[in-house]
Every structure is written in C-alpha cells, then in structure tokens.
Amino acid sequence: MEQTSLLQVQNLTVRRAGKAVLADVSFTVAPGQTVAVIGPSGSGKSSLIQALAGHRSGGGSIRYEKIKGQSPRTVSISQQHHFKNLSNTSSFYYQQRFNSSDAEDALMVDDVLQELCDNEEMIVSALELMGILYLRRTRLIQLSNGEHKRFQLAKAVLQQADWLLLDSPYTGLDIAARKLLNEVIDALVEKGMLVFLVTSFTDLPGCVTHIACLEEGTLKALMPRVTFERTARFTSRQAVMPGFDPGLIKDLVPAYAYEEFLVAIDMVDTSVTYNGRKILDKINWRVNKGECWSVSGHNGAGKSTLLSLITGDNPQAFANDIYLFDRKKGSGESIWDIKRKIGFVSPELHHYFEGGCPVFEVVASGLFDTIGLFRKLTEGQNAIVRNWMELLRVGHFSGRMFSQLSNGEQRLVLLARALVKNPPLLILDEPCQGLDAAVSKWFIELINDICIHLQKTLVYVSHYQEEIPGCIRHTLQLDNGKIAA
C-alpha cells in the first residue's frame, strides 16, 4: 500500500507555565513535501519544533512513519546552542570566551565531531560543506554565534539524520552563510533527508513546498508555497504595531548623571590573538559623541571580539591603546565606570542569561549590569524600569519568569534591559534576532527616534540591511579581523 504521510500531528497541545502555547495543532506531511513554519514572535514555533523532537510533552499525538521498517532518526537544531566543558558541565560564564586561559576548559570542534564519527573523510567533508574547516581546532566557546550555527549543522550531517528539525537556522548568519545554508538544505533534501523548519518568509530554501502559518499557538493555514507567494503572504495580529509618542522618549530620564565626553571610542592599532589565531589586526577606529555606526562583516570577522573590548568583557583590551569616553582604558577606571555608560545586548549575552528570574528583575538588572538583580530598587528606579518596559511593550510580562517567554519575547526584554539606564552609548549586536518582521520594524524606528531625540552614540551590528536604523551615517566593515578597504 502506498505511503500517504511521513508525519502525522493530531490535536497537539503544549502548555508553558499553565498557558497553552500550542492548541489543537493538526497537520500531516506527505512524501515529497518540505514544510516551513512561519509566524509572529511568541506564536509557538519553537515549542512545535521541541515537541516534534520529543523535548516537550503535551496532549495530542505525534507519529513518524517508519523508514525501512525502523523508527526514523530525528536531529533537532535549536536557536540557542548548548555544549559542555571538559568537566562535563555547562557552567560557562559570558566573559569566558574572551579569556584565553579560562576558555581552555571548553571542547574543540574536532573533539565533538570525532565523538560522533570516526571517519576522517566524512568529518572533513561535513566541515567543508559548511565552510568551517578552518575552525576544526577552535574551542567551542570561542566560536561566533554564526559559526556555532554552522557547526551544529555539520554535526547534523555527520549524524545522518532521517529528519532534520531546524528552529530558525538562518539566525545569526551573514549573507554568504545564508546562501550556503540554502544550498546545503536543498542538497540534503535532494539526497533523501526530510526537513522541517521554522523560519521567516524572507529565508526559504528552494526545497520548501508548503508553508504552515502559526498565530497565538494555533495553525491558521497550511498551504502550498506557490499559493502562499501569490497571496499577501502572512498577516497577523502583529502585522501593524501601534506607534509611540516621540515626546515620551524625551521624558525618559537617565538613571545616572553621566560625565560629558567628546570621543566615545578610540582604538589605536588594536590587535587580539587567541592560540596563535589573529582575531583583530591593527584596528584604528574612532567614534565621536553622537555618531551612529554600523559594524558589519562575515561570521567570524571579529565583530563580537571588537565589541567585547569596549564593554569591558575582554581582558586583552588592557594590552592595547583603547580610549573610552576620553579616558585610556586601564588608567584607573573600574569596570563599572565603563559599563554604566553603555547599554548592551547581543546573541551571546542572551545565551548566557539566567532564565529563572522574573522579567521585571531582568530589565532592572540593566541598571547595575548584573546577570540578575541583587539589590533593592529605590522608588525612582522602580519607576524607570516600569517606564522602559512599557515603552518596549513588555510590561505585561513583568511577573513571569524569563525562561517562560519565547525567544523573541526574551529578546525584547533584553533590549529593555539595555536601554533602561538611558546610557550615552548603545551597543546593539543583532538586536532584532528572534523578532518577527513587524516587531523588528517597530523596534528599529524606536531606536532611530531614541538616538535622534536623545543624541545617543550608537554601535549597531546586523547581517540584514533592512534592519539598519536611518540614523546610521558611518560604517566599519571587518574582513578577517582587519578593516576592509
């Protein structure tokens, strides 16, 4: 009898903190179909992938058809990467990737791949397929966000999965890497691998045949790709975000009295090396007060390392001539003197942030640049936190645990944390990562207005040109640790 389906999902319901994040979701995947799931932030996309991977239980049923008489092997790749150190624990801290001695506790790329496969030719082939053969002897903790994603995909290839479940695989990848990923996914499907992925309608590999639209935990539509592309694509409750009053921005007071300065950042022949590998090579870069800069470059170009020299997270800053806020780094200032003038968010910070903390405390921790809140707030500080949470539209999450939010919702909370001090310098590394298109557009406009009305200095990183705020007038492009000509 001819097989009619490869995957059957019936009345799938998943709850998180007592709330249904998926409600009675039903669909089938037939032979020859590759399904991509799209939807706004918080619609349940990641929960669906986790349920399909067997990592989240709930009501209803999920049934994979056997392949050659056996249950299929499924491999899932999540948005957030997870790995253990040499002591077989996950007790890493955020700054550890920039500390060469502490980073030695992390496994190398080659260590993990050799545990999966003892075939040298296959390992080399998988790394070459993802364009990361040069990272083979690199510690996992020192990989960039985009490099981690490609490493995870290389692992999946070596595991020879029947089903590959991908949760937002394009997140953190540069233009070339996204194009490469499209080619890899198409090639895997061509070879017989079954793929089910969460993505956006702007990042769809050619092999995708059907689009599933999730909204508020329910499946609104499952249609052929050609039908989806003929229609107005996907509209949702977040298709139009409510505007904001620019006057409210002017009323937001700084949390601290910030000293005046003329130059926010000045790097002179700045270089960083890890294990003989040059990450940054003689960078000369000046950012004057009030300037808005875009920092661009391929995955592994050195962007995160560059930012870590500014935020005080990289000890190699003290071996270089770096001036922050008109003062030479290492001339007697404390780490707090630097951090309190900077609002910062990045994919790496998101990864290491403590999940078991109420959302209000996560935002409030930005006042003190701590991972968690360890002191009682004054009445004025409480008001500041509430005002920024309302402006970022996360006030209704106040009492919930950070871990109970979707990835996109968590990112909005961390953006509120970055802004809550109303600091003179904002460093936003992939700030729209995990946000849907409508929320991204709204946030970009908000950042643009904040920088213009409050005369902020901005350093902004994104792999998507459409995410660059209009206030940006300067660009620093890195290429293999050097400033591109």
- The tens-digit pLDDT sequence of the chain (485 residues) is 345 799 999 999 998 877 889 999 999 999 999 999 999 888 999 999 999 998 877 789 999 999 988 999 999 988 655 555 444 444 444 444 454 444 556 789 999 999 999 999 999 999 998 889 999 988 888 887 678 888 988 898 898 889 999 998 888 888 888 888 899 899 889 989 999 999 988 899 999 999 999 999 999 999 999 999 887 554 444 445 556 666 677 777 788 889 999 999 999 999 999 877 899 999 999 999 999 999 999 988 999 899 999 998 888 888 899 999 999 988 888 888 888 999 999 888 887 777 789 999 999 999 998 888 888 999 999 999 999 999 888 999 999 999 888 888 899 999 999 999 999 999 999 999 888 888 888 899 999 999 998 899 999 999 999 999 999 999 999 999 999 96
pLDDT of residue 49: 94
pLDDT of residue 291: 98
Contact 106, 148 (CB under 8 A): no
366: left (phi over 0), alpha (psi -120 to 50) or beta: alpha
Q: How far, CA to CA in Å, does 160 sit from each of 43, 157, 191, 227, 398? A: 30, 5, 11, 32, 43
pLDDT of residue 101: 45
User: Residues near 134 by Cβ (< 8 Å), separated by ≥ 6?
Assistant: none
pLDDT of residue 254: 83
pLDDT of residue 177: 84
Q: In what order do the strands lie in the sheet with 457-461?
A: 342-345, 425-429, 457-461, 292-297, 474-479, 482-483
For the chain, domains (ranges, CATH) are 7-230 (3.40.50.300), 246-483 (3.40.50.300)
Q: Kindly write down the DSSP assignment for every residue of 299-334, as one continuous string.
A: TTSSHHHHHHHHHT--GGGGGSEEEETTEETTSS--
Report how far residue 4's alpha carbon sits from residue 233's, in angstroms, rounded to the nearest whole number: 28
pLDDT of residue 243: 61
Q: pTM of the full predicted structure?
A: 0.82
pLDDT of residue 310: 94
Radius of gyration of the chain (CA): 23
Contact 40, 215 (CB under 8 A): yes
DSSP 8-state secondary structure symbol assigned to residue 469: -
In the numeric block, the tokens 């660059």 are attached to 468
